[in-house]
Amino acid sequence: MPPAGTPEATGGIDQTLDLGRPVGEALKDFRIVDKLGEGGMGIVYKAHQLSFDRDVAFKILPPHIASDKSFVDRFIREARMSVKLDHPNIVRGVAVGEEHGLHYFAMELVDGNSLDHYLKSAGKLSVGDTVRIIADVARALHHAHSRNILHRDIKPAN
């Protein structure tokens, strides 16, 4: 058996350099289009969902996290719960899965910039915008919390 993480062990997929996700590569029903960003919990790509002919955000767990079964179990559980959330201020999950040892979560792709990007470019928000954003976030969190779902990474970049 080839060593984990090698192209031989992952069906020819090279997991080096950004997990080896070249533009155009397909994982199950999703074709990688472009890298959107990364954080401690994974790398997020823009991908195209072939079956529905739509673009999605596509998060892949990095191998150092995916090697922890308890973390993978939590990732899958939280992704499945997020699919059940139906709220205008919550991005909806569309799929969760694994291929070639890579665990992924696909969700709606939101056009536009994050609050973090807006604050860096515009400086600060008006009082009215601040109140509206806080109210929207509070309603979304209430919706999730009422279903026993906690968001573990609330920040303007998300």
pLDDT tens figures, 137-150: 999 999 999 988 88
Give 15's pLDDT tier (boundaries 50, 70, 90): very low
Mean pLDDT of the chain: 83
| SS3 label, residue 42 | strand
Q: Is the separation of the CB atoms in 95 and 108 below 8 Å?
A: no
Q: Is the separation of the CB atoms in 36 and 112 below 8 Å?
A: no
Q: How many CB atoms lie within 10 A of CB 14?
A: 14
Which whole number is the average pLDDT over 21-28? 74
CATH class of the 1-111 domain in this structure: alpha beta
- DSSP string covering 45-84, please? EEEEETTTTEEEEEEE--HHHHT-HHHHHHHHHHHHHHHT
pTM: 0.77
Domain locations along the chain: 1-111, 112-158
Indicate the burial class of 158 (C-beta count within 10 angstroms; 0-12, 13-18, 19 or more). Answer: exposed
Nearest to 8 by CA among 116, 101, 126: 101
The pLDDT tens digits of the residues spanning 45-67 come to 999 999 999 999 999 998 888 88
The pLDDT tens digits of the residues spanning 77-125 come to 888 888 889 999 999 999 999 988 889 999 999 988 888 998 999 888 9
Give the active site residues. Answer: 153
